Homo-oligomer: A and B are copies of this chain.
Amino acid sequence: MARRDTRELILTTSLELFNEYGEPNVTTNQIADEADISPGNLYYHFRSKDDIVLELFKRFLVRFQPLIEVSGESLLQAEDLWFQLHLSFELKGQFRFLYRNLMDLTARIPNLDHAMRGLLQRERKSALNSLAGLEQAGVAVFDDWQRELLADSILLSLTYWIPFVELFEPDGAEDGSAQTRAIARVLLIVTPHFREPERSQFTTLARRYLTEVE
């Protein structure tokens, strides 16, 4: 098999196993086994297990970065905001092992720690940006302290909703209905601060999606 193919095979196999069982509970031997290669071969392609994790994180980052670079103004339409959140949750679901053991992974892998810290900071800024966009459009008004607290609430949801759902329904992160609820929840944190007509507008959208899924 070509060099490239085996490397990819190891990555996709690792991702599947990590997501299903959690990274600490998957051994390199299991990965090799599942990928039908030898343990030695795995270590020909990757220096260490951490190296695999780091490479997977890079892949995640490349696909996630564009999603938080969206400007605040472009999310004023309820449908656009909804779609953006949907893409975020979906992608994070595909790499959910990263969020299941965030602390332990960052404590163990310095490069991951640095990159993830940066990502969370940018995500928080992005949330604050969106809130500012709403204010500039006259949709809502926040105090300084409210803006900060709301950004924290949003970031908490974006970070730990998937692990949270997995507690109750294993594989719930792959389930569409859990995602819809996640998005509706995030909206419900913010929309009560809207003035009319946007408030009803966003609320109606959330309800429509919710009933469609159930």
Residues of A within 8 A of B (CB): 22, 24-25, 100-104, 106-107, 117, 120, 143, 145-146, 149-150, 152-153, 155-157, 159-161, 163-164, 166-168, 181, 184-185, 188-189, 192-193, 207, 210
Contacts and interface: CB of A to CB of B under 8 A. Distances in A.
Contacts of A146: 188
Contacts of A192: 192-193
A200 to B, nearest CB: 13
Assembly of this chain: how many copies? 2
Contacts of A149: 181, 184-185, 188
Contacts of A188: 146, 149-150, 153
A153 B189 contact: yes
Nearest to A100: B103
A102 B167 contact: yes
A189 B193 CA distance: 10
